[in-house]
């Protein structure tokens, strides 16, 4: 580690009062006990005279462009604020306070690590985890640590730019928007162009109705429960992370197979490419667990509410969590038997279709009445999987001014046994699937 600096927004003019507070909604608050969202981009060092930056100025260039980016995303430079209500029930409310306290910028050098050291091993090398800040921080701790931390690590022949963002702030789409805006400002500065990024909307979505704001949650009780769950939970066996690359042609084959296995002949081409790939991976995992065929296995996944609510709608530039948790549960014999790919994909498809605006709002309001924050159960290793990220946001499109990334990697925060992360691949129409699994 060479240096750690604090980067603040240069100007607050576009956001008015820099001390304003944004109250979080149930979608945000459910992430309080999880770790930060993490993505890292691996680049070749540029050799082009038109876009290369001298090594001695590159780090300062990234600091300066990050500061300019925070002008467009001022709340990211703030902190969480927990305000007790002073009631007998011990409830509190959680806010983002836009105090421009700054984000963390770490500069590191791995002078014995090359791009090949990252890409060639079968499993993701453990050194990759050291390219991400911060270490083992949970979202609720952002009252005292930055909401965003970035780390720029220089390799022998490349550069790794990693970003850790408090998961209460954003899911994958706004997270990508922030990184892309930073890259665009960096690229435009190299070409001496003005940035054209649009301001993000941080005002939280709430349905029309009589929801009392700010939302009161038993904050202290939630943290105590989380601590107990962490202490009592069954420890996962040692696991590694591996990237599987699905080419467009193979994805098309899986999609066609899944659709052909749907029992209702009146339905055609209802299964998406992503549903087919997830079903294929899940079946492969369960086939190798030697489970009793009558046991039930559960696949947990996320559904975006962005296109599913209209009163009020979720703005396209909305910067916040919009995903709903859902699951598909099947007996082992149904999943791994003949036609299991289609059965699983169709069950997932039906769960997604059932996520209507009415249900979204009903679940939203029910959470307000009874706030609950749970981590995935610890005793279901081998019978439980969860998916993160989305191939709809292509991190390979992010260019800081010296070309596209050669690889996209996740950090170790929130990495769990049998967690699946799906991102767009480098080639058009391809998927990169990262699977966390043990060797045993």
Residue 226 designated active-site:
no
| Per annotation, catalytic residue among 64, 117, 363, 399 | 399
Length of the chain: 440
Phi, psi of 188 (to 5 degrees): -70, -35
The residue among 440, 382, 395, 375 whose CA lies nearest residue 162 is 395
DSSP 396: G
In angstroms, the CA 415 to CA 124 distance is 12
- Distance in angstroms (rounded) separating the CA atoms of residues 200 and 179: 13
Q: Which of 15, 107, 167, 417 is catalytic?
A: 167
Would you say 148 and 164 are in contact if contact means Cβ atoms under 8 Å apart?
A: yes
Q: Strand pairing of 419-424 and 323-331? A: unpaired
Question: Is 167 part of the annotated catalytic residue set?
Answer: yes
Residues 6+ apart with CB under 8 A from 143: 79, 80, 81, 82
Spatial separation of the C-alpha atoms in residues 20 and 320, rounded to whole Å? 17
Give the Cβ contact number of residue 235 at 10 Å: 8
User: What is the DSSP secondary-structure string of 63-119?
Assistant: HHHHHHHHTTSGGGGSEEEEEE---TT--EEEEEE-----EEEEEEE-TT--HHHHH
Q: Which residues are catalytic?
A: 167, 399
């Amino acid at each position: 580690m060479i240096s750690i600096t604090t980067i603040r927004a240069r100007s607050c003019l576009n956001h008015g009062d820099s001390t304003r507070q944004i109250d979080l909604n149930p979608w945000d608050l459910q992430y309080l006990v999880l770790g930060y969202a993490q993505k890292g981009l691996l680049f070749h060092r540029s050799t082009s005279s038109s876009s290369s930056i001298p090594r001695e100025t590159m780090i300062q260039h990234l600091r300066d462009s990050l500061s300019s980016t925070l002008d467009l995303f001022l709340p990211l430079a703030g902190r969480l604020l927990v305000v007790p209500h002073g009631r007998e029930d011990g409830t509190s409310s959680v806010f983002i306070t836009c105090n421009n306290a700054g984000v963390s910028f770490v500069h590191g050098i791995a002078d014995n690590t090359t791009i090949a050291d990252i890409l060639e091993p079968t499993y993701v090398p453990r050194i990759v985890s050291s390219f991400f800040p911060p270490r083992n921080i949970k979202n609720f701790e952002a009252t005292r640590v930055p909401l965003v931390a970035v780390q720029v690590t220089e390799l022998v022949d490349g550069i790794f730019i990693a970003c850790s963002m408090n998961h209460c702030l954003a899911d994958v789409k706004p997270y990508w928007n922030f990184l892309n805006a930073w890259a665009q400002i960096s690229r435009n500065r190299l070409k001496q162009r003005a940035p054209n990024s649009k301001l993000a909307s941080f005002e939280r979505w709430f349905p029309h109705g009589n929801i009392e704001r700010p939302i009161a949650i038993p904050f202290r009780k939630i943290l105590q429960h989380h601590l107990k769950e962490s202490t009592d939970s069954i420890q996962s066996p040692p696991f590694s992370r591996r990237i599987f690359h699905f080419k467009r042609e193979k994805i098309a084959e899986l999609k066609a197979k899944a659709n052909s296995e749907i029992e209702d002949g009146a339905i055609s081409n209802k299964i998406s490419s992503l549903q087919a790939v997830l079903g294929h991976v899940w079946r492969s995992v369960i086939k190798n667990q030697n489970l009793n065929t009558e046991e039930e296995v559960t696949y947990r996944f996320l559904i975006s509410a962005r296109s599913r609510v209209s009163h009020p709608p979720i703005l396209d530039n909305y910067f916040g969590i919009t995903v709903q948790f859902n699951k598909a549960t099947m007996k082992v014999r149904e999943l791994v038997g003949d036609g299991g790919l289609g059965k699983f994909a169709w069950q997932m498809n039906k769960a997604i279709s059932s996520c209507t605006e009415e249900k979204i709002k009903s679940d939203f309001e029910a959470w307000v009445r009874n706030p609950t924050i749970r981590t995935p159960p610890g005793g279901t290793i081998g019978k439980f999987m969860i998916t993160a990220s989305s191939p709809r946001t292509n991190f390979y499109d992010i260019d800081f001014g010296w070309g596209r990334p050669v690889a996209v990697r996740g950090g170790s925060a929130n990495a769990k046994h049998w967690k699946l992360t799906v991102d767009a691949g480098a080639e058009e129409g391809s998927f990169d699937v990262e699977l966390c699994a043990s060797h045993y």
